[in-house]
Chains A and B, each alone.
Chain A
Amino acid sequence: MTGRRDPTNPEGVGGLTRRQWLGGAGAALALDGCGRRTEKWSPVSIHRIQTYSEDLYDLVRRVINEHGVNIRGKRVVLKPNLVEFDERTVINTNPKLVHAALEAFRAAGAAEVRVAEGPGHRRVTLDLADAAGYFSTIPRFESVFTDLNLDQITRTSLVSPQSRLRSLYLPNTVLSCDLLVSMPKLKTHHWAGATLGMKNLFGVVPGGVYGWPKNVLHWAGIDESIADLHRLFPTVFTLVDGIVGMEGNGPIQGTARPTGVIVAGASPVAVDATCCRIMGLDPARIGYLGLAAGAQNLDEELIPQAGERIESVAARFSVLPELEHLRLPQPGETP
């Protein structure tokens, strides 16, 4: 575990700002008079892979290359979704995918690659990671892992927040990295509708300050807090574990839903919207996506697609009855 890095200006790393780094994923947003984007989002790619096999290692390298992610000499932080462990279901990002990403970013020339997470319910993160298979899958896991709940922190102001929050203490490991890679699991969420790359950023908010759960975010508004965190980290690269997702009462008590995909892209909004469509949910009805981008900017034609077509991998995830209104209409159905 680390956490000893000096506090760093969250806006600039080595003369290069994080916003500049991925170039275009949201930085140069152009809108027409109706608030509709006049340019497309960064491309989203969908890749088929049925199991957590050795093929993942090649696939993730290919994904990084295809997206032109240049991280040579840079510090990369992989942020999986590590929530709770229950052997009866699939709550967490599979450690094999995290290991594949770790190897791929190292092979691509990253100066440092760390895995970092701050679970929202469980106090002892290392024990949770052990139960979830991270220790047995990722060699010397403890030496590459940072518990974001207990990391060194810097108070960070929120710019034009949508929630009631005005500032948040955030972990320096995340603030000072050159590239944050959000690695969520493809899951439904009983409050937010879907938990994907953007919701995964709840894990960067330190439990050491806010507690377990990070209840300040709930009181400030879940959708609004997700949108605020997105605004702080707009150029996160997202790599979604959709090989086996979770449907029903996600994010913890749902059931496994094999979907056989990895979804990736440099725009969190575009990746999340695409994942919603894969799950059979309408991204325009997901509150935080609307807040972050405007519902009018989530149309499929604004998101360049690579790899598999959405229709070819789409799986109609079951949702709780309370969330039926979030579904995309079936062919022939009136919206």
Chain B
Amino acid sequence: MSYSEDLLNRQNADGGWGYHGGGSWTEPTCYALLALAAGDLAGSGAARRGIDWMARCQRPGGGLAPRESVAESTWLTALALLLPAALYGGEDRRGAGNWVLAQTGRESGWIFRLRLWMLGASPQDSFAFDGWPWFPGTAAWVIPTALSILALEKLDREAGTSHFKNRIAQGRAFLLARRCKDGGWNHGSTKALGYDSDSYPEATGIALLALHGSREADVDRAVGRGEQHLTMCRSSEAANWLKLGLLAHGRKPDAPHVPEHGTTMETALSALADAALRGRNLFLES
């Protein structure tokens, strides 16, 4: 069965996708739609039904909630922007773009910086850069920052502009400042009370993808760490993120076979990594 057929079989009656069966969530729906686009099914009825479901998660402020039953918009608004404009466009796309642009980690706000200053605490270097949070009003972390960078880049490519250049540069600087000592990335905490933390394969793959085209020496080392992770990786999702990240840096990743659990995310990311191996990286195209 092809990836697209697998995903079509998993689509819920309401048009969305669940993580592993179950009710629809925005995140697996976005990845399933991206994977269908990679399989040239962006114009299909299934894709349209998926977009219609997503519209029910879009909130008045332009952001998207993780489920229909959730009131708040969150980080996955950036994921929706990674969909082709032909599939997810118009006012919905503009609103989502504005929402993503308005988000920043709470630690980089002036109130927090003032509080640190008044407490006599020295802020971490990474507090100097604006990343993106998972949930509004909280700190910035690696994965939502990486995906938001990719989303704003896509908006700029589509419009042929560089409106978001400064914000993208801030996000990239944030990622570089949050690298673990071993060269890769974890959720975004490089040290815990002074002790170095280890990187994770999935976060390293996503961060590498967001840092595509970077000529920083630090990124070369991160690519090496990504390759190391891939040889030892036992997670299908993580392996596919690593493939996407390494391909974005011109590497030809060779991953060992890893067992799958049959989730929507695994199938969608496998489809997206395979497409990238064939030369079409949906995260980096207009």
Chain A positions within 8 Å of B, measured between CB atoms, are: 1-4, 86, 121-124, 126-127, 130-131, 142, 147, 150-155, 169, 190, 208-213, 215-216, 218-219, 249, 252-253, 320, 322
Contact = CB atoms under 8 A, between A and B. Distances in A.
Contacts of B189: 213
A209 B70 contact: yes
Given A152-B23, A215-B138, A124 B235 contact: yes
B73 to A, nearest CB: 11
B261 A215 contact: no
Contacts of B235: 124, 127
B134 A211 contact: yes
Given A169-B70, A253-B195, A215 B25 contact: no
B192 A215 contact: no
A152 B22 contact: yes
Contacts, number: 111
Interface string B212-241: 000000000000000000000011111000
Contacts of B197: 252-253
B139 A215 contact: yes
A1 B21 contact: yes
B119 interface: no
B234 A4 contact: no
B135 A215 contact: yes
Give me the 3 closest cross-chain CB pairs, A-B, nearest first. Answer: A211-B134, A127-B235, A215-B138
B154 interface: no
Interface in B160-203: 186-187, 189, 192-193, 195, 197-198, 200, 202
13 contacts: A3-B23, A86-B198, A121-B200, A123-B237, A124-B238, A150-B19, A150-B25, A209-B135, A211-B74, A211-B75, A213-B189, A249-B192, A322-B193
Nearest to B137: A219
A252 to B, nearest CB: 7
Count chain B CB atoms within 10 A of each CB in A127, A190, A216 and give the residue with the most. A127
Contacts of B20: 1, 3, 147, 150
Contact of A4 (B21, B138, B237): B21
Interface residues of B, number: 44
Given A150-B25, A212-B187, A127 B74 contact: no
Contact of B66 (A130, A208, A212): A208
Q: Is the interface of B mostly helix, strand, loop or mixed?
A: loop
Nearest to B112: A219
Given A4-B22, A213-B141, A153 B237 contact: no
A210 B141 CA distance: 12
A313 B202 CA distance: 41
Contact of A208 (B27, B141, B234): B27
Nearest to A207: B134
A211 B144 contact: yes
A127 B195 contact: no
Given A142-B261, A209-B70, A130 B138 contact: no
Given A3-B19, A213-B141, 12 more contacts: A4-B23, A86-B198, A127-B238, A130-B259, A147-B20, A150-B25, A155-B69, A190-B193, A208-B25, A209-B72, A219-B137, A219-B139
Contacts of B106: 219
B67 interface: yes
Nearest to A1: B20
Nearest to B260: A126
Nearest to B25: A208
A127 B234 contact: yes
Count chain A CB atoms within 10 A of each CB in B20, B25, B71, B74 and give the residue with the most. B20
B22 A122 contact: no
